[in-house]
A = this chain, B = another copy of it.
Protein backbone atom coordinates (compact mmCIF):
# COMPACT_ATOMS: atom_id res chain seq x y z
CA UNK A 1 0.00 0.00 0.00
CA UNK A 2 1.49 3.39 -0.91
CA UNK A 3 0.97 6.41 1.31
CA UNK A 4 -2.08 8.57 0.53
CA UNK A 5 -1.35 11.02 -2.31
CA UNK A 6 -2.49 13.96 -0.18
CA UNK A 7 0.57 13.54 2.06
CA UNK A 8 3.89 14.82 0.80
CA UNK A 9 6.45 12.08 0.27
CA UNK A 10 8.62 11.73 3.38
CA UNK A 11 12.29 12.32 2.82
CA UNK A 12 14.53 9.29 3.03
CA UNK A 13 11.62 6.83 2.91
CA UNK A 14 11.86 4.51 -0.03
CA UNK A 15 8.59 4.39 -2.01
CA UNK A 16 7.94 0.67 -1.85
CA UNK A 17 5.12 -0.76 -3.88
CA UNK A 18 3.08 -3.63 -2.47
CA UNK A 19 4.98 -6.25 -4.47
CA UNK A 20 8.33 -5.09 -3.07
CA UNK A 21 6.97 -5.03 0.48
CA UNK A 22 5.72 -8.61 0.03
CA UNK A 23 8.98 -9.81 -1.54
CA UNK A 24 11.16 -8.34 1.21
CA UNK A 25 8.82 -9.57 3.93
CA UNK A 26 9.01 -13.12 2.55
CA UNK A 27 12.82 -12.91 2.42
CA UNK A 28 12.84 -11.82 6.07
CA UNK A 29 10.38 -14.59 7.12
CA UNK A 30 12.57 -17.18 5.40
CA UNK A 31 15.70 -15.78 7.01
CA UNK A 32 14.55 -15.57 10.61
CA UNK A 33 11.32 -17.58 10.66
CA UNK A 34 7.77 -16.22 10.37
CA UNK A 35 7.05 -16.66 14.09
CA UNK A 36 10.39 -15.08 14.96
CA UNK A 37 9.66 -11.94 12.90
CA UNK A 38 7.83 -9.02 14.52
CA UNK A 39 6.18 -6.03 12.82
CA UNK A 40 9.08 -4.06 14.33
CA UNK A 41 11.61 -6.29 12.52
CA UNK A 42 9.65 -5.81 9.31
CA UNK A 43 9.58 -2.02 9.76
CA UNK A 44 13.36 -2.00 10.34
CA UNK A 45 13.97 -4.18 7.27
CA UNK A 46 11.89 -1.85 5.08
CA UNK A 47 13.20 1.36 6.60
CA UNK A 48 9.85 2.42 8.08
CA UNK A 49 9.17 3.59 11.62
CA UNK A 50 7.13 1.22 13.78
CA UNK A 51 4.06 3.40 13.30
CA UNK A 52 4.54 3.98 9.56
CA UNK A 53 4.69 0.23 8.87
CA UNK A 54 0.91 0.02 9.44
CA UNK A 55 0.35 2.38 6.50
CA UNK A 56 1.99 -0.24 4.28
CA UNK A 57 1.08 -3.56 5.84
CA UNK A 58 -2.28 -4.60 7.34
CA UNK A 59 -0.74 -7.38 9.38
CA UNK A 60 2.04 -9.95 9.33
CA UNK A 61 -0.56 -12.64 8.80
CA UNK A 62 -1.94 -10.90 5.69
CA UNK A 63 1.54 -10.88 4.13
CA UNK A 64 1.92 -14.58 4.93
CA UNK A 65 -1.47 -15.33 3.36
CA UNK A 66 -0.58 -13.43 0.17
CA UNK A 67 2.77 -15.22 -0.19
CA UNK A 68 1.30 -18.66 0.47
CA UNK A 69 -1.48 -17.97 -2.06
CA UNK A 70 1.08 -17.14 -4.75
CA UNK A 71 2.81 -20.50 -4.22
CA UNK A 72 -0.39 -22.51 -3.80
CA UNK A 73 -2.21 -20.94 -6.78
CA UNK A 74 0.68 -21.80 -9.12
CA UNK A 75 1.14 -25.34 -7.81
CA UNK A 76 -2.62 -25.94 -8.00
CA UNK A 77 -2.65 -24.71 -11.61
CA UNK A 78 0.14 -27.20 -12.48
CA UNK A 79 -1.83 -30.11 -11.01
CA UNK A 80 -5.08 -29.09 -12.68
CA UNK A 81 -3.36 -28.67 -16.05
CA UNK A 82 -1.70 -32.11 -15.75
CA UNK A 83 -4.94 -33.74 -14.64
CA UNK A 84 -6.87 -32.21 -17.54
CA UNK A 85 -4.27 -33.05 -20.25
CA UNK A 86 -6.16 -34.85 -22.96
CA UNK A 87 -4.78 -37.70 -25.02
CA UNK A 88 -1.80 -38.50 -22.78
CA UNK A 89 -1.07 -41.40 -20.46
CA UNK A 90 -1.08 -41.03 -16.68
CA UNK A 91 2.70 -41.54 -16.91
CA UNK A 92 3.04 -38.51 -19.20
CA UNK A 93 0.74 -36.46 -16.97
CA UNK A 94 2.90 -37.34 -13.94
CA UNK A 95 6.16 -36.46 -15.71
CA UNK A 96 4.58 -33.18 -16.82
CA UNK A 97 3.43 -32.42 -13.27
CA UNK A 98 6.95 -33.08 -11.96
CA UNK A 99 8.59 -30.85 -14.60
CA UNK A 100 6.13 -28.00 -14.12
CA UNK A 101 6.33 -28.22 -10.33
CA UNK A 102 10.09 -27.74 -10.63
CA UNK A 103 9.46 -24.66 -12.78
CA UNK A 104 7.13 -23.18 -10.13
CA UNK A 105 9.64 -23.93 -7.37
CA UNK A 106 12.37 -22.13 -9.30
CA UNK A 107 10.19 -19.17 -10.31
CA UNK A 108 8.58 -18.77 -6.86
CA UNK A 109 11.34 -20.15 -4.65
CA UNK A 110 10.91 -17.73 -1.69
CA UNK A 111 7.11 -18.20 -1.52
CA UNK A 112 7.39 -21.99 -1.86
CA UNK A 113 10.13 -22.07 0.80
CA UNK A 114 7.74 -20.28 3.16
CA UNK A 115 4.94 -22.70 2.21
CA UNK A 116 7.07 -25.76 2.90
CA UNK A 117 7.91 -24.48 6.37
CA UNK A 118 4.31 -23.86 7.41
CA UNK A 119 3.43 -25.89 10.54
CA UNK A 120 -0.24 -24.99 11.06
CA UNK A 121 0.25 -22.46 13.86
CA UNK A 122 -2.63 -20.17 12.75
CA UNK A 123 -5.83 -20.24 10.64
CA UNK A 124 -3.86 -18.93 7.62
CA UNK A 125 -1.33 -21.76 8.02
CA UNK A 126 -4.03 -24.38 8.53
CA UNK A 127 -5.76 -23.29 5.31
CA UNK A 128 -2.41 -23.51 3.45
CA UNK A 129 -1.87 -27.02 4.86
CA UNK A 130 -5.37 -27.99 3.67
CA UNK A 131 -4.53 -26.80 0.14
CA UNK A 132 -1.16 -28.63 0.27
CA UNK A 133 -2.90 -31.84 1.26
CA UNK A 134 -5.25 -31.49 -1.73
CA UNK A 135 -2.24 -31.11 -4.05
CA UNK A 136 -0.47 -34.09 -2.44
CA UNK A 137 -3.60 -36.22 -2.84
CA UNK A 138 -3.87 -35.34 -6.54
CA UNK A 139 -0.21 -36.24 -7.07
CA UNK A 140 -0.64 -39.54 -5.24
CA UNK A 141 -3.61 -40.30 -7.54
CA UNK A 142 -1.47 -39.56 -10.60
CA UNK A 143 1.22 -41.94 -9.33
CA UNK A 144 -1.39 -44.62 -8.66
CA UNK A 145 -2.85 -44.19 -12.17
CA UNK A 146 0.63 -44.53 -13.72
CA UNK A 147 1.21 -47.72 -11.70
CA UNK A 148 -2.21 -49.02 -12.76
CA UNK A 149 -1.43 -48.54 -16.44
CA UNK A 150 1.78 -50.55 -15.96
CA UNK A 151 4.18 -47.69 -16.63
CA UNK A 152 5.59 -47.43 -13.08
CA UNK A 153 7.06 -50.22 -10.96
CA UNK A 154 4.53 -51.71 -8.55
CA UNK A 155 6.97 -52.90 -5.85
CA UNK A 156 7.04 -49.56 -3.99
CA UNK A 157 3.76 -48.35 -2.47
CA UNK A 158 2.35 -45.47 -4.59
CA UNK A 159 1.90 -43.16 -1.60
CA UNK A 160 5.55 -43.70 -0.68
CA UNK A 161 6.57 -43.01 -4.30
CA UNK A 162 4.59 -39.79 -4.28
CA UNK A 163 6.10 -38.63 -0.95
CA UNK A 164 9.68 -39.39 -2.00
CA UNK A 165 9.36 -38.08 -5.56
CA UNK A 166 8.01 -34.72 -4.40
CA UNK A 167 10.33 -34.81 -1.40
CA UNK A 168 13.16 -34.75 -3.94
CA UNK A 169 11.46 -31.99 -5.96
CA UNK A 170 10.73 -29.86 -2.87
CA UNK A 171 14.25 -30.28 -1.49
CA UNK A 172 15.56 -27.93 -4.14
CA UNK A 173 14.14 -24.85 -2.40
CA UNK A 174 16.64 -25.53 0.40
CA UNK A 175 19.78 -25.49 -1.71
CA UNK A 176 19.06 -24.23 -5.23
CA UNK A 177 20.61 -20.86 -6.10
CA UNK A 178 20.26 -19.61 -9.69
CA UNK A 179 23.76 -19.50 -11.14
CA UNK A 180 23.22 -19.32 -14.89
CA UNK A 181 24.36 -22.96 -15.32
CA UNK A 182 21.72 -24.91 -13.45
CA UNK A 183 18.32 -23.52 -14.49
CA UNK A 184 14.79 -24.92 -14.24
CA UNK A 185 15.29 -27.10 -17.34
CA UNK A 186 18.56 -28.62 -16.07
CA UNK A 187 16.90 -29.24 -12.70
CA UNK A 188 13.77 -30.85 -14.10
CA UNK A 189 15.85 -32.98 -16.50
CA UNK A 190 17.98 -34.15 -13.56
CA UNK A 191 14.98 -34.90 -11.35
CA UNK A 192 12.98 -36.77 -14.00
CA UNK A 193 16.08 -38.74 -15.07
CA UNK A 194 16.96 -39.78 -11.52
CA UNK A 195 13.38 -40.52 -10.48
CA UNK A 196 12.12 -42.32 -13.59
CA UNK A 197 15.26 -43.83 -15.16
CA UNK A 198 17.34 -44.23 -11.98
CA UNK A 199 20.97 -43.49 -11.20
CA UNK A 200 22.35 -46.87 -12.30
CA UNK A 201 24.44 -46.56 -15.45
CA UNK A 202 22.25 -47.54 -18.42
Q: Is the CB of B196 within 8 A of A182?
A: no
Q: Contacts A167-B172, A191-B164; is A151 near B201 (CB within 8 Å)?
A: yes
Q: Contacts A35-B33, A195-B199, A196-B198; is A161 near B190 (CB within 8 Å)?
A: yes
Q: Is the CB of B171 within 8 A of A201?
A: no
A152 CB–B CB distance under 8 Å = yes
Q: Contacts A167-B175, A196-B198; is A32 near B32 (CB within 8 Å)?
A: no
A197 CB–B CB distance under 8 Å = yes
Q: Contacts A199-B152, A201-B152; is A174 near B167 (CB within 8 Å)?
A: yes
Residue of B nearest to A201 (CB): B153
Q: Which B residues lie within 8 Å of A19 (CB)?
A: none
Q: Contacts A156-B190, A164-B168; is A200 near B151 (CB within 8 Å)?
A: yes
A50 CB–B CB distance under 8 Å = no
Q: Which of A152-202 contact B (CB under 8 A)?
A: 152-157, 160-161, 163-168, 170-172, 174-175, 182, 186-187, 189-191, 193-202
Cα A183 to Cα B201 in complex, Å, equals 29
Q: Contacts A160-B182, A168-B168, A190-B160; is A154 near B198 (CB within 8 Å)?
A: no
Interface centre among A150, A164, A197 (most CB of B within 10 A): A164
Q: Which B residues lie within 8 Å of A31 (CB)?
A: 119
A121 CB–B CB distance under 8 Å = yes
Cα A196 to Cα B199 in complex, Å, equals 4
Q: Which B residues lie within 8 Å of A160 (CB)?
A: 182, 186-187, 190
Interface centre among A36, A171, A195 (most CB of B within 10 A): A171
